[in-house]
Amino acid sequence: MLKLFLGNFLRLCQYAKSNNTRLVLINRRDYPGSEPYSAAELDSLSAALSDNPSSDSTLEDFVRERSLELAQCLSSLVAESSIAKNSILLTGWSIGCLWAMAFLVHAPMYHLGGIDLSDYIRGVTLYGLCSPNPHRIFP
Amino acid sequence: MSQLKMKRFGLLGVHDTGAPGENKDYLTLVIIHGFSWHSGVLALLSSKYRC
């Protein structure tokens, strides 16, 4: 499985330049190079997974926070790089699709640093969407 | 083992291959990884393929 995964990204990397593509690989929170979740954030996630009646709104808040940090990341990318308008294809893979969908739901409300990301996003791809219960996160 | 060069944009770490050339007319493919696997596993390949 490791070899299969490496093979997938190997193809992307070696063909990026010849296909006039800039490849940007984001590590989600708690992965190398990204900020670990705080104890409060992990408590919030645990509460969201409980049977408490308020857990749905807690989960929505958690998802909204993830969409905000993704929007902040993309806004910084646009601000610091020579990225043209209408040129970004945002792709979620497997459970990463939940982050892409959260972005679709909430990002139109964000104008971070004067940047309207809707000017830059050409499209969103959900590749191999995998979620046991997406309607609970996006009711 | 070499490490992928990571930038920090906000709270998230990012590996960016950079613009493919001088021309600004290019596609930027942003990928959010799935469960467990992340861009760090590419470290073994980064020195060979300069990506």
pLDDT tens for A42-76 read: 998 888 888 887 788 888 899 999 999 999 999 99
Using pLDDT thresholds of 50, 70 and 90, give the confidence band for residue A6.
very low
* A45 domain residue, yes or no: no
- Give the strand pairing for B27-32 and A88-93: parallel
- How far apart are alpha carbons A24 and A121 in whole angstroms? 14
- Condensed to tens digits (0 to 9), the pLDDT of residues B2-49 reads 456 788 999 998 888 899 998 889 999 998 888 766 555 544 444 455
**Per-residue pLDDT, A54:** 78
Asked, for residue A82, whether it belongs to a domain, the answer is yes
Q: Mean pLDDT, to the nearest integer, of A73-83?
A: 94
Using a pLDDT cut of 70, give the percent of chain A over it: 85
Residue A130: inside a domain, yes or no? yes
> Encoding tokens for residue A131?
């979620």
Answer yes or no: are the C-beta atoms of A87 and A121 closer than 8 Å: no
Distance from CA of A5 to the nearest CA of B (A): 8
Q: What is the mean pLDDT of residues A4-16?
A: 57
The C-alpha of A51 sits at a distance from chain B's nearest C-alpha, in angstroms, of: 24
Is A73 close to B11, i.e. CB distance below 8 A?
yes
Predicted interface score ipTM higher than 0.90: no
Q: Domain for residue A15, yes or no?
A: no
Number of structural domains in chain A: 1
Q: Residue A70: list chain B partners with CB under 8 A.
A: 12, 32
Whole domain around residue A112: which residue ranges?
A: 53-139
Residues of B in contact with A22 (CB under 8 A): 16-20, 26-29
Residue A121 lies in a domain: yes
Query: Residue A131 — very low, low, confident or very high, per pLDDT cuts 50/70/90?
Result: low
